[in-house]
Amino acid sequence: MPLDSGRQEARRVQTSGGALAPDAMARAGGLAGLRWCFEARSASRWMGCRRDAFSQIHLSPLALSSTILLHSQRHYRATLCTELTKPLIIGNIPSASLQPYEVRIRVHCCGVNFADILACQGLYQEKHPLPFTPGMEFSGDVMEAGKAVTRVKKGDRVIGVANTKALAEEYIADQKVIAGAGSEKKCSLAFQKGAIQSVNYSETSLREEVKKLTDAQGVNVVIDTIGGDIFKEALHSLAWEGRIVVVGFAGGTIPSIPANLLLLKNISALGLYWGRYRDQDFPVFSSALSSALSYCQAGRIQPHIGAVFKLEEVNEAFAHVTQRKSTGKVIISIS
């Protein structure tokens, strides 16, 4: 059966509640075809959806994952695997509200991979809790961007690779930031500054918490200013081909790197002594300062001043930092 005919058949068996009968996907041709194209239900329909999604258009890559809930009247269609090895169904899913670091994508086309089929049979190496939406790659355009997103804007054409959830009319891509801090106060501040999750490593295992928060996938980049045991926990928390950037050792202990961990996950360990760029590569140093100032003036970053001391209080300021009470930048006001 042609794919268009199958989709019309799928729509005919839609129930009044918006879900499809379990055999809808079987009659609609299942996962047949190289690419699925979804029609937008708005006034401007995607008449060109069947053409090559890459022709004459510049596509921007996005790194992806996850979803959440817009006002209840808004829904979108998504493929659902509700039972392994059974035909897929099409369901109406509540559209999720957008978080500051997320991007809502209107999916035009979604690739079908053998891995998708294995996942729906329970045979893929990554197991997904039921029900789930399969789909690992797509192309589309940005419907909406969170207020903290700077790399893309509404209307931009994008392509994406995901673990799941791409076989739908909408996809939410995110840039997750997990903050690690040594107190609840600092974790709370991290939330205010845009972190999606935080871990108080003085009360729980950073490694285990990151594992839970990332579904055992790990994180792509760690910026470490603490050193010591926290560095080792963070190193274990990296995903395949992850990077850990050493900025400092505020915890007081310089850690050793177990080289076998670098090998097992193709991990990179990097050092960043930013101040030395002033002497070794001044154009980079100057450019970094200029960028930071322009971002600040444009409101894209808001530096946090944690405490201000007078010049006569310099010893108190030093103690504030060494006693781990500081958040953000500690300032000495001289004038």
Question: pLDDT: is 14 or 311 the higher one?
Answer: 311
For the chain, list the strands marked E by DSSP: 35-37, 60-63, 75-80, 89-94, 102-111, 137-145, 157-161, 170-174, 178-181, 197-200, 219-224, 238-246, 268-271, 305-310, 329-333
- Segment 31-57, tens digit of pLDDT: 333 333 333 333 333 333 333 333 333
**In this structure, what are the phi and psi dihedrals at residue 330, rounded to the nearest 5 degrees?**
-100, 130
> Tokens standing for 29?
């041709």
| The predicted structure's pLDDT at residue 229 | 93
Structure tokens of 10?
Answer: 């799928």
Of 47, 55, 75, the closest CA to residue 139 belongs to: 55
pLDDT tens, position by position, 103-118:
999 999 998 989 899 9
Q: What pLDDT, on the 0 to 100 scale, is given for residue 167?
A: 93
In this predicted model, what pLDDT tens digit does every residue of 140-170 receive, in sequence order? Answer: 999 999 887 877 889 999 988 888 999 999 9
Distance CA(116)–CA(335), nearest Å, equals 64
- Going along the chain from its start, the domains and CATH numbers come out as 3-174 (3.90.180.10), 178-272 (3.40.50.720), 283-333 (no CATH)
Q: What is the pLDDT of residues 238-267, one digit of tens each?
A: 999 999 999 998 888 999 998 998 999 999
DSSP string, 79-133: EEB-STTSPPEEEEEEPBPPPTTEEEEEEEEEE--HHHHHHHHT-SSS--PSSB-
Q: Taking 60 as the threshold, does the pLDDT of residue 22 lie above it?
A: no
Confidence of residue 195 (pLDDT cuts 50, 70, 90): confident
pLDDT of residue 73: 63
| Closest-CA residue to 170 (of 97, 101, 112) | 97
Is residue 199's pLDDT more than 80? yes
CA 257 to the chain's CA centroid: 27
